[in-house]
Amino acid sequence: MSFLGGGSKPGAAVNSDRMEMAVQELDMITDVFNRLVSSCHNKCVSPRYAEPDLNKGESVCIDRCVAKFFEVNKKVGEKLQSVGNAAGGGGAFGMQS
């Protein structure tokens, strides 16, 4: 678990910078997914838990919720990118899918 410390192993092929980028991307997607699950659960699933299955209304709500969350993700990403570009290079802001 030592993502920190930049232990650069003298392995021939593995590029640790590229590796780190990939791990960061994975962490990012996991984080977004967990927030998406939690947000849409709060928005769509009744906390009374009277039955074990998603009912029709909840299922439809979840589908729309995911679509809207992606749209918000895109809008926020574009906004951050435009702010980043205005602030200078903005190289770090090209990360929304």
Residues lying near a second copy in the complex (CB under 8 A): 1, 4-5, 19-20, 23
Q: CA–CA separation, 97 vs 84, rounded Å?
A: 17
Could you tell which of a second copy, other proteins, none binds residue 11, using a CB distance below 5 to 8 A set by kind?
A: other proteins
Cβ atoms of 16 and 9 closer than 8 Å: yes
Q: Which of 28, 56, 88, 89 binds other proteins (CB under 8 A)?
A: 28
Residue 20 token pair? 């780190």
Exposed / middle / buried, residue 86 (Cβ in 10 Å: 0-12, 13-18, 19+): exposed
Comparing CA positions, the residue from 59, 82, 78 lying closest to residue 70 is: 78
Could you tell which of a second copy, other proteins, none binds residue 10, using a CB distance below 5 to 8 A set by kind?
A: other proteins
Residue 35 beta carbon to other proteins: minimum distance, rounded to whole angstroms: 4
Give, as ranges, the residues between 30 and 89 that touch other proteins (CB under 8 A): 30-45, 47-54, 58-73, 75-77, 79-80, 83
Residue 69 token pair? 């969350």
Q: Which of 18, 86, 88, 89 binds other proteins (CB under 8 A)?
A: 18
